[in-house]
Amino acid sequence: MIQDIDYGRLPQHLQGGVQRYIEQGVPPGDFLTAVITNDLFLAISHADSTSLAALPDIVRFFYNESPSRCWGTPEKMKTWMETGHKKYMDLSEYTERKPYPVEIIRVK
C-alpha cells in the first residue's frame, strides 16, 4: 500500500518529488526521471553530489519500496503519470502489496 512506502530511505531533498510522482503522477525533475526510466548515463550527468553518492540507495528504494509499474522504462513512467498512479491509489485502499493469486488452468 502507498502508506507502507518508506520515503525516509531517500535523501531528504528527493523525498517530496518521489512521493508526488508515486502518489499523484507529478513529473519529477531530470535526475529522478533518468533514475525512474533506467537511464544510468543521464542520471549520473544530472545528479548533484548528494544524489550521486546515494544513487545505489535510490535504485534500491524504487526496487524495494515503490510499485513496480511506476519505474523501469519511459513507457512505464508515462503510463504511471497518465493513469497508473490513480489505479494504484484506488487499489491500495483494498489490497496489500502482494501479487494477485494466480489460478493455474490445465489445458487438455
Percent of the chain with pLDDT over 70: 79
Q: What is the pTM of this model?
A: 0.77
At a CB cut-off of 8 Å and minimum separation 6, what does 77 contact?
33, 36, 37, 70, 71
Residue extents of the structural domains in the chain: 2-92
25: its cell numbers: 503522477
What is the Cα–Cα distance from 71 to 69, expressed in whole angstroms?
6
pLDDT 10s digits, 13-39: 999 999 999 999 999 999 999 999 999
What angle (nearest 5°) sits at the alpha carbon of residue 37, between those of residues 55 and 29? 70
CA 9 to chain centre: 13
